[in-house]
Chains A and B, each alone.
Chain A
């Protein structure tokens, strides 16, 4: 059981806009910033969004993040087949004194 809650799956068609939610509590998302990671099967995770809505160099602006209260969202616009991957949210948890992850959302491009 993950500390942060994500839907196990999401889907969309090419060109569509898809959002993935991440729900937490006051000890994690409510008081700290949220990061998002993208992971393809058999490979290491890649940092996609940090500090709620910042993109590392090289990440397309099709990816965006937002946070409100104890929830956060990742939005992918202009969906492409190569976006098919697992997406994880993460945030520092002040009670556990470490980062916590969501269970991951498998994105399928139909």
Chain B
């Protein structure tokens, strides 16, 4: 059974940093691209970033480009999101999600498994 467990969320001041982790199990982690998707309170889903299975290809939403960095450790089956220069508008539940296809690419790929999410609150 696929399991994705996020951690690292919490309260941080504007301008601060936070590192999210997503521990994966139940599938061949390095074979699948992974993504981070967030949801602000009471709002819809917003894609944040994606990373190929090998880790050599990444993409970011314009809203986080230059501030967030996605990475993975395939030896530890873990996905990360380093978030710097945080803003109030980054407040959201952050989900890690697994791509549906075992091609390692995230291009045009849906996400078939999601973690339970971790809440990030940016406030002074």
Contact = CB atoms under 8 A, between A and B. Distances in A.
A89 to B, nearest CB: 10
Q: From DSSP, what is the main secondary structure of chain B's interface residues?
A: strand
A44 B110 contact: no
Interface residues of B, number: 22
Interface string A23-49: 000000000110101010001111100
Interface size range of chain A in the complex: 20 to 34
Contacts of B117: 44
Nearest to B113: A47
Contacts of A35: 110
A90 B110 contact: yes
Interface of B: 35, 37, 44-47, 50, 59-62, 95, 100, 107-108, 110-112, 114-117
